[in-house]
Amino acid sequence: MNLNLFGHAGQWLMVDCGITFQEPLDPTNTQPSPSEVFDVVAADPEFIVQHKEHLAGIVITHAHEDHVGAIPYLWQRFQVPIYTTAFTAEVLRRKLAQTKLADKVPIVVVNTGDTQRIGVFDVQWLAITHSIPEPHGLMIKTPAGSIFHTADWKIDTDPVVGKGFQSRPFKRMGEQNITAMVCDSTNALRPGHSISENACYPGLKSLIESAEGRVVVSCFSSNIARLLTLGRIAKETGRYMALMGRSLQNMVSIARVTGHWDESIPLAEQRHIGFLPRNEILAVATGSQGEPRAALQRLANDSFRDLNLDKGDRILFSSMIIPGNEEPIKNLVKALKARGFEVFQAHETELPIHASGHPCQDELRQLYSWVKPQIAIPVHGEAEHIAASAAIAKECGVPIQMAGLNGDLYVLAPEPELRRNMVRTGRIPLVQ
C-alpha cells in the first residue's frame, strides 16, 4: 500500500494512496489470529492529515489498488484535488460512486506527456509499461531539483495495451542531472528480464486450443491486456468469452469507455454461458488468490449459479501467488483437482501464461544506467528488495543510495541525508 509525500518550500505533494488486503496492523506479526487480520488496510495518513493545509494535491500513477484504493476511504481527511489520467480517473469515479463522496472529489484528468503545476511542484506524466492500462512515471520538478518517480514499471516492448516501452525519454534524463530516482523494487531479487505481456499469448493459446471441454482462466481483473489476449484466443479457437464476477465486468466496462477494449471479441453474457457447448466456453473468473467469495471458489464448490463444470474441464491460473495467499490458493487448487478438473498454475507450467508487471534485475540496471540519478531511492518492496535495488544502483554508478523505511525523511537538497523515523507511520484498518 503506497503513500509517498514529496515536500518543498512548505508544501507537500502526495503520490498514490493505496490499500492492501487481509493484513494485520503490525507487519511484524507473522502469525496473526483471525481477529488481528483486517480485510482492507491502508497506511496511517496521520502526519499529512495534520499538515493538510500544506498539501497541494494528490497524484495517482495508475489504477492498481495498492496505489489508488484508499482514496474513497481517506479523501475526506485531505480534501484536495486528485490528478490522474482517464483510465485511472474512471476506476476512481466508480469507486467513489459507491460512497458518500460521489461527485464531491475534484478529479483533474491529465494526458500522457502533460505537465501540471500543482502548488510549487511541476509534475510531468511519463508513459511507462506495467500490467494495467495507462501506467505513468512522474518527473517532479522544483527549484531545488528534479525527481523521477518511476511508479510501478517494467520494460515491455509489447504490452498489448498502449505503446511499447520507449527508452528515449529515460536516456534523455541521463543528460538532465536528475537529483533522485524513486524506483519500484518488487522484483529486485529476480535475475534477468521480465517476460513481455504478449509472450502469454502462445502459452495461453496452446493450453486453450488443446482443451476438449470448458476452459476457465483466472487472472487479475485490471489486467486488460491479459483479457484482450484471451479475447483474441477465444476468437481464434471458436469459443465465447464470458466474464465471471463483478470486478471483471466493471474493469472491461471501464476499458470500453476509455478506448482500451477490442469490440470484435466474442463476449457471451455470464448468465448465458452455461447453455453453450463445452468446447465453446472460455470463462474468465475472478478469484486467482483463493478469495472465498470469488467466482473461481464458487466454481470449485459447484455453487456458481450460471455455470457448472464437469470432469475434464480445464482451469488456468494466469496469475502469480501474492505472498501471504499460499494457503487459500493451495486449498482452492486441491478442491478443483478433487472434482477432476485439469489445473495449470503459472509457476508450475512451462508455457508462459503469466507475466509480472515489475522489473527484474536487468531492467533495473538498464533504467538506472539510462537515468543516471545522483540519488537512488528504492521503494515498493520489503527491506531485502530495497537493499537489492540499492546494490544494483550502486553497481550502475549511482553515487548515493538511500535505502530507507516507512517514516524516514529523504533530504535530497542541498545536502543529501537520510533522517530516520521523522514521521510516525503505521497501518490503519479500513474494513474489518
**Least distance (Å) between residue 412 CB and Zn ion:** 23
Q: List the beta strands (DSSP E) in 2-134.
A: 4-8, 11-15, 19-24, 37-43, 55-59, 82-84, 107-109, 115-118, 121-127
Q: Please give the full DSSP string across 56-75, using - where no structure is assigned.
A: EEEE-----HHHHTTHHHHH
**Least distance (Å) between residue 130 CB and Zn ion:** 6
Query: For 233-298, what is the HEC assignment?
Result: HHHHHCCEEEEECHHHHHHHHHHHHCCCCCCCCCECCCCCHHHCCHHHEEEEECCCCCCCCCHHHH
Give me 167's grid cell: 527508452
Convert residues 58-87 into a mask of x (bound to Zn ion by CB under 5 A) and - (unbound): ------x-x---------------------
Nearer to Zn ion, 66 or 156 (CB): 66
Instruction: Determine, following the binding rule CB under 5 A, whether residue 358 of this chain makes contact with Zn ion.
Output: no
Nearer to Zn ion, 197 or 313 (CB): 197
- CA-CA distances (angstroms) from residue 313 to 60, 240, 280, 307? 40, 15, 12, 12
Nearer to Zn ion, 152 or 291 (CB): 152
Sign of CA dihedral 169, 170, 176, 181: positive
Binders of Zn ion among residues 132 to 161 (CB under 5 A) are 152
**Least distance (Å) between residue 16 CB and Zn ion:** 8
**Least distance (Å) between residue 222 CB and Zn ion:** 9
Task: State how far the Cα of 104 lies from the Cα of 217, in Å rounded to an integer.
Answer: 38
Convert residues 86-105 into a mask of x (bound to Zn ion by CB under 5 A) and - (unbound): --------------------
Helix, strand or coil for residue 201?
Answer: helix
Nearer to Zn ion, 152 or 363 (CB): 152
Q: For residue 21, which amino acid is it?
A: F
Nearer to Zn ion, 132 or 273 (CB): 132
Whether omega for the bond prior to residue 414 falls within 30 degrees of 0, making it cis, is: yes
Nearer to Zn ion, 87 or 344 (CB): 87
Instruction: Determine, following the binding rule CB under 5 A, whether residue 8 of this chain makes contact with Zn ion.
Output: no
**Least distance (Å) between residue 346 CB and Zn ion:** 18
Segment near Zn ion (CB under 5 A), from 57-65, 100-108, 154-162, 223-231? 57-65
Nearer to Zn ion, 44 or 152 (CB): 152
Alpha-helix runs per DSSP H in 126-275: 168-173, 200-209, 224-237, 246-257
Nearer to Zn ion, 62 or 141 (CB): 62
Phi, psi of 215 (to 5 degrees): -120, 130
Task: State how far the Cα of 330 lies from the Cα of 345, in Å rounded to an integer.
Answer: 11
**Least distance (Å) between residue 272 CB and Zn ion:** 33
**Least distance (Å) between residue 391 CB and Zn ion:** 21
**Least distance (Å) between residue 70 CB and Zn ion:** 13
Tally of CB atoms within 10 A around 28: 5
Phi, psi of 53 (to 5 degrees): -70, -15
Do the beta carbons of residue 357 and residue 380 sit within 8 Å? no
Binding residues with Zn ion: total (CB under 5 A): 3
**Least distance (Å) between residue 67 CB and Zn ion:** 6
Nearer to Zn ion, 64 or 232 (CB): 64
Residues that bind Zn ion (CB under 5 A): 64, 66, 152
